Amino acid sequence: MSGMLEIKSFTFGPFATNTYVVSNEQGNALLIDPACSNQYEQQQLENYINALPSKEGSKAGLSAIVATHGHLDHLWGARWATDKWQLPVLLHPADIPMAQAMQEQYNLFGIRATTESFPIAALEANFRPFGEGVGMDFSMLETPGHTQGSVCFYWPEEQTLISGDTLFCMGYGRTDLPGGSTAQLIRSLEKLFALPTAVRVYPGHGETTTIGAERR
């Protein structure tokens, strides 16, 4: 729990990728990085989202599916999730070509599987996950470096940051894959380290941390 927002994390897939469901008191939910790679993981995620209550006692609704960047391990479950909830995956425009060329990513990592395309839409700078509901104190931070279109999701009042693969507990994302840039990542980390010390960081892999702990 983080103030007025509920944050549920799942660790899915062969790369141990963190998927997050962020929900507010009105029963709206945001799915971040659908990494579920098999039926068991998909069922876990679906069961959790279906069970989310709102204050009125009605079922929660999934407002959007977003990805922090376009790498395959954050999108294992994208085809399933977009079918299930009839929503596209929202991605920063710079990473859309990468996500559309998913087969090339599979080949790069030596994964012998045939990918299936899924609907993708541009993640706009003015994106608001919950409309007029709780969680309006939201900003999307552009943090290129791991990929050109890497983003973080930040709720200032909640002191909550979902950092994707830009910042980890005791580490940061690699820059040696296509689209990576060490210089850009350093600038992005400086942007994150300017956030308040107490901000809790929910990374794309590994345990949660805080800005203060990582700034040291």
Q: How far apart are CA 154 and CA 69, in angstroms?
A: 15
How confident is the prediction for the chain on average, in pLDDT? 92
The conformation of residue 53, written as its DSSP 8-state character, comes to B
Helix (H, G, I), strand (E, B) or coil at 167: strand
The domain ranges of the chain are 6-215
pLDDT digits (tens, 9 = 90+) for 119-140: 999 999 989 988 655 556 899 9
Identify the pLDDT of residue 26.
Answer: 78
Radius of gyration of the chain (CA): 16
Tokens of 138: 């939201």
User: At 72, phi and psi to the nearest 5?
Assistant: -55, -40
* Model confidence band, residue 27 (pLDDT cutoffs 50, 70, 90): confident
CATH for the 6-215 domain, from 3.40.720.10, 3.40.50.12140, 3.40.50.970, 3.60.15.10:
3.60.15.10
Q: How confident is the model at residue 2 (pLDDT cuts 50, 70, 90)?
A: very low
9: amino acid identity, one letter: S
pLDDT of residue 168: 98
Q: Report pLDDT digits (tens) over 168-183.
A: 999 999 999 989 999 9
Give the list of residues 6+ apart from residue 167 with CB closer than 8 angstroms, or none: 152, 173, 189, 192, 201, 203, 214
CB 169 within 8 A of CB 93: no
What is the pLDDT, as a whole number, of residue 1? 41
Residue 57 has pLDDT above 70, yes or no: no
pLDDT for 56 equals 60
More confident site: 65 or 26: 65
| pLDDT value of position 114 | 84
Q: Residue 191: what pLDDT?
A: 98
Please compute the mean of the pLDDT values over residues 27-55 and round it to a whole number.
92
CA dist 216 and 211 (Å) reads: 9
